[in-house]
Amino acid sequence: MAAAAAPAPAESNVEFIRARSDKREYRRVVLPNALECLLISDSETDKAAACMEVGVGSFSDPEGLEGLAHFLEHMLFYASEKYPGEQDYTKYITEHGGSCNAYTSSETTNFYFDVNVANFEEALDRFAQFFIKPLMSQDAVLREIKAVDSEHKKNLLSDGWRMYQLQKHLASKDHPYHKFSTGSWETLETKPKERGLDIRQELLKFYENYSANLMHLVVYGKESLDCIQSFVERLFSDIKNTDQRSFKCPSQPLSEQHMQLVIKAIPISEGDYLKISWPVTPNIHFYKEGPSRYLSHLIGHEGEGSIFHIIKELGWAMNLSAGEGSDSAQYSFFSISMRLTDAGHEHMEDIIGLVFKYILLLKENGIHEWIFDELVAINETEFHYQDKVHPISYVTDTVSTMRLFPPEEWLVGASLPSKYAPNRINMILDELSAERVRILWESKKFKGSTDSVEPWYSTAYSVENVTPSMIQQWIQKAPTEKLCIPKPNIFIPKDLSLKEAHEKVKYPAILRKTPLSRLWYKPDMLFSTPKVHIIIDFHCPLTSHSPEAVISTSLFVDLLADYLNAYAYDAQIAGLFYSIYRTSAGFQVSVGGYNDKMRILLDAIMKHISNFEVKPNRFCALKETAVKDYQNFKFSQPYSQASYYLSLILEDQKWPLAEKLEALSKLEPDSLAKFMPHLLSKTFLECYIHGNIEPNEATSIVQEIEDTIFNTPNSVFKSMSPSQYLIKRVIMLENELKCYHQIEGLNQKNENSSVVQYIQVHLDDALSNIKLQLFALIASQPAFNQLRTVEQLGYIAGLSLRSDCGVWALEVVIQSTVKDPSHLDARIDEFFKMFESKIHELSDKDFKRNVKSLVDSKLEKFKNLWEESHFYWGEIEAGTLKFDRVESEVALLRELKKEEFIEFFDQHIRLGAPQRKTVSVQVFGGEHLAEFKKAIAEADTPKTYRITDIFGFKRSRPLYRSLKGGPGRITMD
């Protein structure tokens, strides 16, 4: 299906199918070595990007060398003959405002990066050398095997990885799908050594598969197409073309013995999951007809009469998704996945029966052209009004279409089905049969009743047969509730016209202010798109005064979303998105998308809020799920646990998970019903409306919301006085004191330990901000290189900025199986000690280069309405109102002297600095219990303090002032 690569240099004038709103220029070029390239010129971009997809993935791993393709992906980052310095590539990219990564899938390996536009050519040269002459030096081999193994160990307790591998394990042994793909110490070091293999030689041999004729390149720059083409021809023409054949995997990985099965598996975390799958003909072969898209729309629907709506109302499931997915054009699976409740676990057969009942209904009811036309209309609007994304996302998305589609369809891929073909839809529907089904059922309730173990992740499971006659019985005893196809979608936008902005408005302004609400408004001046973003922030000071209040607010928000789901699902399909979530000071409603039908959705949400009642059946289902989610925190990664303890130490209004779980377990429907009027009796609405909307309409929306919320006869909502405005604040650590909090990991089966070292620096202030950001820019790549690459402490290692309520800090995170947290913490200190000389010896040239890189990153334009909106809302939410933050910080950066920067480092960051304020949170995993016992028995050294009682410690510390005023006090004066 892919267009054949030309044998000689070729530049084809392809007429690309493109979005009406897309102003970029495109060109297809095929180099003399048969490398096929897509060039993209965007005169408005601040970042350049590139992505190379190589048609060699884990399916190509030699027998007995599982993970070799993934290992090669790691190794190519190191160094090349032209740039032999280790990490030359990543160092150059990060120093010039960019980022880089790679991933290995079944049939491809993808490498990608972005960088500030001024540095694109040089970054591209370093990138091209991966595919021309990488060094793959012997001394890097062992280190990177350890990195691959550390990545594997991180995944060992991830149910996503475990269940994926289990499904692969229960497939034909002679199909590459069956393989273990990521690699480990055992597959890349122990076993090859036993067989007398030199892993580096095997790596070099495997690299020979990397032939230019199997590669696709997307290059995205600011320059003209001719200029980008000259870069590409000069830098990539030396990639060898050894005319390799592209990997073609055998068709389906499931034979008859792998179907008609129920696989019962035991997960690590709490919660029951059901996945019903069928092998189907890949949709890619009929992407113009889109048969799987039509079926996933109906089977995955959540409106009235859908599978999900019925099983949700019966209290059996919490979510459902349906669709086709695959890594390959040769085989595919259509799957329906859901999270079950405890009651749903008991009714598994009824649920499967209901699913097959619906499939039967679709067959009997026939295929409907109006449904297909509705999907075509939705997809076309979505394609033509798509938001611009970051170049790095655009190149990685686009490269994946080059292998599979003719060049004119590279920009659109399979996203615009246009041919109504009921026979194709019926063909896939016939493949969703009882004869071809396989069911994966995850539950801890299967403990003690399994008889097999998957070899790579040690997942306990058992397999039972399920015959078509059994399924027939399940269909007959399934619920009799009325299944039906959806009604026409009222939310499909019709009016996509653009409103005229009558005056140039640079920043949000207060348009309306009452004792009940305040409206911030900004028309869209940048994107000319028929979309709007509305945020209604319900400020309720009683939301977080106790663990009971916090979990009651959370459950109220969950119930609201649950009640709205069947009605609002159509809106989401039609490109209108909403979210309702708890905040530290109440809850927030956010609605975004096409403005045409926005008010209908917003009105429905507000009516649900003002008429809220507790439905006991939904309360019980949501409470059960929430309890399991809290319990699952103990199975989270140790670095996530360390981050949680750090937040608990820093934030003055934060309740421990254990207390919230206890409060949740005692919460009943009537106590929530009593709490809600109490919570809502103090409310202030902070509103933000931004986009394709006129000021009078924005005003009338907020007036309508006020009327719905506050001015109905039985409303429990009451206004809030300014003195009740809730402010979250952060504790101030002590100068020259290092605090420790050492604790055992919550899941001792997890071998990983973690440390988070937090260095608190200052409360939001433009001059201090830029100095700290500059340090992070200079130090982040060397920290990663030293802690992960050189010292091999763990796969997760990094230095980044952190801000809590406007208090800025540095944070260094490491997760490791090889060393305990005390050792990791000492290595972080050692890094800062070593890095001191680097800062003091910083040349003027390097200082100016880093300042320029930070300036370039700050001046990066918003890509879409949501990015712009989140920036301005962030300023309003924090109370800082620095809408000109970027301009003011850039002006200060341009004046910053190297001596001032070094003085800042010496005062706040270097080890032993007079104003260095540090806390180190250390989570000890199962491998390091002996070290934990030793660590907690040690006496405190001078200038250190051991936090054993987090709440006692917090009470003893002063708080940073808040940046936020009250409703009566934030003004734009």
Task: Average the pLDDT over 736-757 and give the result.
Answer: 96
CA 677 – CA 675 distance, rounded (Å): 6
| Bridge partners (DSSP) listed for residue 228 | none
For tokens 């919570």, the residue is 679
pLDDT in tens, 304-335: 999 999 999 999 999 999 999 987 889 999 99
- pLDDT value of residue 11: 58
Give the three-class secondary structure for 528.
Answer: coil
**How far, in Å, are 303, 316, 481, 726, 947 from residue 307 at the CA level?**
9, 11, 10, 43, 51
- pLDDT value of residue 291: 97
At 49, which amino acid appears? A
Contact 368, 485 (CB under 8 A): yes
CA 151 – CA 216 distance, rounded (Å): 27
pLDDT in tens, 540-588: 999 998 999 999 999 999 999 999 999 999 999 999 999 999 999 999 9
Task: Average the pLDDT over 499-527 and give the result.
Answer: 93
Task: Average the pLDDT over 217-243 and give the result.
Answer: 98
For tokens 């405890």, the residue is 342
Q: Does residue 645 register a pLDDT over 50?
A: yes
**How far, in Å, are 439, 742, 909, 910, 912 from residue 916 at the CA level?**
56, 20, 6, 7, 7
Q: Does residue 215 register a pLDDT over 90?
A: yes
Q: Does residue 10 register a pLDDT over 70?
A: no
DSSP string, 108-150: -EEEEEEEEGGGHHHHHHHHHGGGT-B---HHHHHHHHHHHHH
Q: Does residue 967 register a pLDDT over 80?
A: no
Structure tokens at 401: 């279409």
Q: Which of 36, 66, 95, 144 is catalytic?
A: 144
What DSSP state is assigned to residue 862?
P
Assessment of whether the complete model's pTM goes beyond 0.85: yes
pLDDT in tens, 816-830: 999 999 999 999 999
- pLDDT value of residue 971: 40
Banded pLDDT at 965 (limits 50, 70, 90):
low
Structure tokens at 105: 């899938």
Q: Does residue 966 register a pLDDT over 70?
A: no
Q: Does residue 17 register a pLDDT over 70?
A: yes
HEC profile for 1-67? CCCCCCCCCEEECCCCCCCCCCCCEEEEEECCCCCEEEEEECCCCCEEEEEEEECCCHHHCCCCCCC
pLDDT in tens, 395-454: 999 999 999 999 999 999 999 999 999 999 999 999 999 999 999 999 999 999 999 999
Banded pLDDT at 964 (limits 50, 70, 90):
confident
Task: Average the pLDDT over 289-293 and give the result.
Answer: 96
φ/ψ (deg, to 5) at 764: -30, 120
φ/ψ (deg, to 5) at 698: -60, -45
Query: What is the overall mean pLDDT for the chain?
Result: 95
φ/ψ (deg, to 5) at 300: -95, 5
Contact 183, 148 (CB under 8 A): yes
Give the three-class secondary structure for 475.
Answer: helix
pLDDT in tens, 332-373: 999 999 999 999 999 999 999 999 999 999 999 999 999 999
pLDDT in tens, 74-105: 999 889 999 998 888 999 999 999 999 999 99
CA 309 – CA 566 distance, rounded (Å): 7
- pLDDT value of residue 78: 86
Domains of the chain are 23-235 (3.30.830.10), 254-475 (3.30.830.10), 507-649+656-678+688-722 (3.30.830.10), 734-744+754-958 (3.30.830.10)
Give the three-class secondary structure for 683.
Answer: strand
Task: Label residues 268-304 b or e (16+ Cβ within 10 Å = b).
Answer: bbbbbbbbbbbbbbbbbebbebbbbbbbbbbbbbbbe
| Bridge partners (DSSP) listed for residue 922 | 742, 755
Banded pLDDT at 13 (limits 50, 70, 90):
confident
Q: Does residue 12 register a pLDDT over 70?
A: no
Banded pLDDT at 152 (limits 50, 70, 90):
very high
What percentage of the chain carries pLDDT values higher than 90?
A: 92
Contact 112, 100 (CB under 8 A): yes
Q: Which of 73, 202, 374, 875 is catalytic?
A: 73
- pLDDT value of residue 726: 80
> Among this protein's residues, is 11 annotated catalytic?
no
pLDDT in tens, 29-66: 999 999 999 999 999 999 999 999 999 999 999 999 99
Residue 828 CB burial class (10 angstroms; 0-12, 13-18, ≥19) = buried
- pLDDT value of residue 8: 43
> Among this protein's residues, is 73 annotated catalytic?
yes
